[in-house]
Amino acid sequence: MSIDFHSRREFLYGLGATLGTAAFNAMAEEERSGPLDPKKGHLPAKAKSCILLYLEGGPSHIDTFDPKPELSRIDGKGFKNQDKLTSGMARGDRRYVGSPFKFRQVGKGGLWMCEHFRELAGVADDLCIYRGCQGESVNHPTANLHMNTGNRLGGDPAIGSWVGYGLGSENRNLPGFVVLPGTYYPQSGAANWTNGFLPAHFQGTPLRPTGAPILDLEARGNIPRSVGRRNLDLLAELEKSHRARHPEHDDLAARMHSYELMFRMQAEVPGLLDLTGEDEKTRSMYGLDRKETQEFGRSCLLARRLVEKGVRFVQAYSSGWDSHDDLKSAHGARMAAVDRPIAALIRDLKQRGLLDETLVVILGEFGRSPDNAVSRGRVGRDHNPKAMSVVFAGGGVPAGTYVGRTDEIGGEAVEVVHPIRDLHVTLLHLLGLDDNKLTYLHGGRFKQLSQTGGNLIRELVG
């Protein structure tokens, strides 16, 4: 008598006490424990969580943390067709652009900082400024994807997804990876925080800055939680029956975990995101009482509350840093918008005893050029992936110091030079993860954040 199996795969999964059954049972046990349960890293961790503050558009290192007196000396001097200095931008008549801002040394370590960083100067001794990072893309969409996922073409998991995959979350009632995108999404949109080929549990969860933070989170029609719980239990039984017949299909399991997480978040999220309970001193410290700092201040305060509650990776965006024209006005406004919130976040984490175990990273997708096209009516800067400043605080990174150096006009990194993949390897290392061991089988090979492996930036790990 023949047996009517739908496919060869179902036949193999349907065998008795075989390796396939053993694998399925192990997978089912793992699902019961939860994919976001805390996991042990590969090595001793300097930090338990990470807050990545992303200045989207390309902040100018020359006008923030890396002043260049030589550039000011040759300000306005023209030249033609020097591709190295134009950093891949359009050829033509160019001119050097000195910074329109004043700089001063701050903190015990004497870190150079733009005059507009008034509050940040007060936490200079907690900062490490890395000047040796280099990107590979001169365009915003691909540069954003490269910095966030390690792949300029998109489709790969974001760094926060890799961290969640490797370490899980310390709070089963919240996502392990939360994104605070601000009013506008960055270029390349949600692909910047996708789970890619990792299971759906590890994708970033964006919280809207206005209105309902997460659409459709609240139950409709005042349905009691007890009814919602019974509905989920029924769905779980149906999913269990389906998986027994089709163990190779894990889409429903991922969806069930999303439903369960949503149910738990209904109780946790409203209180977590309600900032009215914060005292006036805290609200003022983050700049919630000022128009120019209110949006990013809210994001930074939420980031602190989220890591305090056990969220593993939080990413907050500040947009508007693409200053091709009128650098003085545009960058001046952006620095004013983030100065107080970032300083408040570092102070707040420190006074709560959280800074040592929280890695704070401040960066954009690339830096800016020391020159600009003569044809532009107002003075600005073009894109420059060959030089940028990445600022760190907490998380075991050496404080009050510089790492790396750019050339005399800020056109290119020349000391402790590393590509973005090495930056990724270092961030994972500080969180207790080894990039060479944090892999996932996809497309016939084991993939990792660095794509092809990278080197640790040892000067950043203390």
Q: What is the pLDDT of residue 211?
A: 54
Give per-residue pLDDT as tens, 96-125: 999 999 999 999 999 999 999 999 999 999
DSSP state letters, 199-250: -GGGS-EE--SSS-SSTT-SPGGG--HHHHHHHHHHHHHHHHHHHHH-TT--
Domain limits, the chain: 39-212+289-460
174 and 310 in contact (C-beta within 8 Å)?
A: yes
Q: What is the pLDDT of residue 6?
A: 46
Asked whether the CA dihedral 449, 450, 454, 460 is positive or negative, the reply is negative
Q: What is the pLDDT of residue 29?
A: 40
Q: What is the pLDDT of residue 18?
A: 42
Q: What is the pLDDT of residue 337?
A: 98
Nearest Cα residue to 165 out of 207, 206, 199:
199
Q: Does domain 39-212+289-460 have CATH number 3.40.720?
A: yes
Q: What is the pLDDT of residue 42?
A: 97
Task: Round to whole Å and give the CA distance between 392 and 432.
Answer: 17
Task: Round to whole Å and give the CA distance between 22 and 199.
Answer: 21
Q: What is the pLDDT of residue 13?
A: 41
Q: Would you state the structure tokens that stand for residue 413, as one six-digit string?
A: 């990194």
Q: What is the pLDDT of residue 171?
A: 83
- Mean pLDDT per block of 10 residues along the chain (462 residues) reads 45 42 41 75 96 98 98 91 52 87 97 98 98 97 98 96 95 89 92 95 84 52 58 64 66 58 52 80 96 96 94 97 94 98 98 97 97 78 97 97 98 98 98 98 96 96 84
Q: What is the pLDDT of residue 21?
A: 40
Residue type, 29: E
Give per-residue pLDDT as tens, 267-315: 455 556 778 889 999 999 999 999 999 999 999 999 999 999 999 999 9
